[in-house]
Structure 1
Amino acid sequence: MTEFSILGNNTEWQKDFERRLRASYTAAGLGAAAAERMLDEIRASIGDCTVAEITDAGTRVGYVAVIVADDNGALAGRIGDLRVDALHTGRGHEQAARDWAEGWCAEHGAHRLDVRLTEPAGELFDGYSVRGQLRTRRVSSPPEPLDGVTARPMTQAEYPEWLASEKVAYVGDIVRAGALSPRP
């Protein structure tokens, strides 16, 4: 039976989490310095996470990390990590951890739940809508310029119109993704 125990000391989990994040960043092509800068940003919020050890018959099989925080005036939960060790996958622990995380966030007032995982989760979060995706890949050489396209610096006179159109497009992307509602 899958059980959950909130950790008083997250040090072991944090070391493993950072190792997995670093590996995913470098696999995506980031250099060591860039990966460390991204880890520094994440370290700032890791301390606020509640981390639970996932066990089965007294054996640790993984971890799940959650947080509830204010997001533009509404409480939102986030599953920041859900990791079941390879030896224990496919035995229902992942689903149990997701259910536990959703319940924990709801108990702490969250009205929405986001998921940000370092590794693929298969079908576990299929019922969650996609708000945005970040995908990266290695590129061996710079792309060739397109025929008929030239690049030049923008003039000061062009900047205000460009900025206004970019802001409108940015807000439209956020609204279409479902992250926020348009203002009346």
Structure 2
Amino acid sequence: MTTTLRPTAPLKTTDDGERRCTYEVCVNSRPVGVLELSTDAKFGASHGQIQRLDIDEPDRRRGRATVAALAAEEVLRGWGCVQVRITVPIEARAALTLAGDLGYTTRGHNMVKDLTVPPVLPPASVSRAMTETEFPSWLARERAGYTRSWVERGSTEEQAAAKADADFTAYLPNGPATPSVRLRVLTHEGADRGDIWISLGDAYGEDVGAYVFSVEVAPEHRGQGHGRSLLLIAEQESLAAGARSIGLHVFADNTPAMGLYESLNYRYTRTHLFKAL
């Protein structure tokens, strides 16, 4: 049995070098599934993505997906990609196992929580809006931290900076005046302890009503429960805006954050993985 990829249409290439193509996965020329590949619009042409890999039910558990995934990597190498990324729904256990067997590393997770009743903040804790004068220094700190987090996970400075530019432009087009944005500061016993960035609407394709983009507690005040309070503020703001669910992303190496989100009844929905080519 020979498993091959057969393009369903010519390769699509944009002016900025982005590529995309869909293939039939074939066994002895018989179609048994579909594969979709692209480069990453935010990281550039050197980063590839397996957007979709579906094998028809009668041909599953025969190694077809493994061969197709390896063939996909060869295609992406031919495109000049040095890394490939995939996103797997948490319920797709077989796909997660296959990714591990093929040497993919988990980069992060999406998590979601259903919202019902507005929570109450701990005594002496209060939420307030971030001021216009506080915003520039907050933005510089957030952008630097966001860029650094991607560099630490294998991206170049240029790629990480480009992603930061794209994401902050997309999600904060008018700064603190962006209608869909809530920038809140937590004060406790009269002093600022941290801040949170909440986006209202389905900003990350998770079918949620709100999304937490950033939670930051001042280093000297960590370990005192203020991160939990900030997330309760996010729930308050989201419910007040009519949202009934809230999502967020967490990097896989941020064990304390994952523990906090789990304790607040967030559930995992998608896992993001990568592999060097």
TM-score for both structures, normalised by structure 2: 0.45
Q: Shift of residue 147 of structure 1?
A: 1.0
Q: State yes or no: 1:97 paired with 2:68.
A: yes
Q: Where do residues 8-157 of structure 1 align in structure 2 (5 Å cutoff)?
A: 8=9, 48-68=19-39, 75-117=46-88, 120=92, 121-126=95-100, 127-137=103-113, 139-142=114-117, 144-148=119-123, 149-157=125-133
Identify the residue that residue 142 of structure 2 maps to in structure 1.
166
Contact 2:47-2:85 within 8 A present in 1 as well: yes
Q: Shift of residue 62 of structure 1?
A: 0.8
Q: Distance in 1 between matches of 2:55 and 2:20?
A: 18
> Helix, strand or coil: the match of 1:8?
coil
Identify the residue that residue 249 of structure 2 maps to in structure 1.
none
Contact 1:64-1:83 within 8 A present in 2 as well: yes
Tell me the C-alpha RMSD between the 2 structures.
3.1
Gaps of at least 5 residues in structure 2 are 11-17, 161-277
Q: Shift of residue 111 of structure 1?
A: 1.8
Identify the residue that residue 7 of structure 1 maps to in structure 2.
8
Q: Shift of residue 92 of structure 1?
A: 0.4
Gaps of at least 5 residues in structure 1 are 10-46
Q: Distance in 2 between matches of 1:89 and 1:74?
A: 31
1:57-76 C-alpha deviation (Å, 9 max, x unpaired): 45422111112467666622
Q: Shift of residue 178 of structure 1?
A: 2.5
1:158-182 C-alpha deviation (Å, 9 max, x unpaired): 2223222222322232223323348
* Change in 2 beyond 3 A, CA 1:97/1:165: same
> Helix, strand or coil: the match of 1:141?
coil
Q: Select the structure that is richer in strand.
A: 2
* Change in 2 beyond 3 A, CA 1:55/1:142: farther
Contact 1:102-1:113 within 8 A present in 2 as well: yes
Query: How much identity, in percent, do the aligned residues show?
Result: 26
Between the two proteins, the alignment pairs up a number of residues equal to 146
Contact 1:50-1:67 within 8 A present in 2 as well: yes
| Structure 1 residue ranges, 4+ long, deviating more than 4 angstroms after superposition | 69-74
* Change in 2 beyond 3 A, CA 1:154/1:70: closer
TM-score for both structures, normalised by structure 1: 0.64
Q: Distance in 1 between matches of 2:56 and 2:112?
A: 25
* Change in 2 beyond 3 A, CA 1:173/1:52: same
Higher relative contact order (CA 8 A, sep 6+): 2
